[in-house]
Amino acid sequence: MSITEKILCTKTHEYILKNDDDTYTIGLTDYAVEQLGDIVFLELPEIGTTFSKGDSFAAVESVKAASEIYMPISGEIIDVNTALVETPETLNEDVYEKGWLVKIKSTGDSSEQDDLLEYEDYKEEVE
């Protein structure tokens, strides 16, 4: 199963990936990164911070513009990809393996995922 078959996406271009230990990895979709162009800056939250679904929790900037990144579901930040902050251009190459943003422990209800889209549907929606 390819990674895009395992993720769920928001219309604001974030994805979540459920890990084996029931935590979630959050990142930006490849489509989002392609639209942004050369990524030059990334700001990520601190471990331990909690956010509600829809909150802005991080920021990304390309040469062209600054964009906020929103929580696809509610959760507490349990891990942050600090290496990516040093080399945000990595996002232009890979948004999953090296380009994930944060890992969270979900604090909301599973119904929060009802409005998330499977990758194929997301692509259809945004393109």
Partner 1 sequence: MVVKQTILHDKHVKLGAKMVDFAGWHMPVQYISIVDEHNTVRNGVGLFDVSHMGEVFISGKDSLEFLQRIVPQDISKLEYEKAVYCQLPNENGGVLDDLIIYKLGINYYLIICNASGVEGDVNWMAINAKGFDVKIDNQSHNYSLLAVQGPKADELLRTMGLDTVQDSFTIKSAKILDRKMYVSRTGYTGEDGYELLVENKYAEELWDNILEYGKPFGIKPIGLGARDTLRLEAALPLYGNDLDMDTTPVEAGLSWSLPRDKKEDYNGKSVIMDQLANGGKKKIIGIKMLDKNIARHEYEVYFNGEKAGHITSGGISPVLGCNIAMAYVKNIKEICTGSIVQVMIREKLHDAEVIKRPFINKRNKVRN
Binding stretches for partner 1 (CB under 8 A): 37-38, 40-41, 43, 59, 61, 63-66
Cβ 35 to partner 1, closest distance in Å?
Answer: 8
Residue type, 35: Q
Q: Which tokens hold the place of 20?
A: 């084996």
> How far is the C-alpha of 48 from the C-alpha of 45, rounded, in Å?
9
Closest CA to 119 of 30, 8, 13, 21: 8
Q: For partner 1, give the closer residue by CB, 38 or 121.
A: 38
Tokens 């930006």 appear where?
Answer: 28
| Rounded least distance, CB 21 to partner 1, Å | 32
Tell me the residue length of the chain. Answer: 127
Is the Cβ of residue 68 or residue 120 nearer to partner 1 in the bound state?
A: 68
How far apart are CB 60 and partner 1 at their closest, in Å?
A: 11
Whichever of 94 and 120 has its CB closer to partner 1, that residue is 94
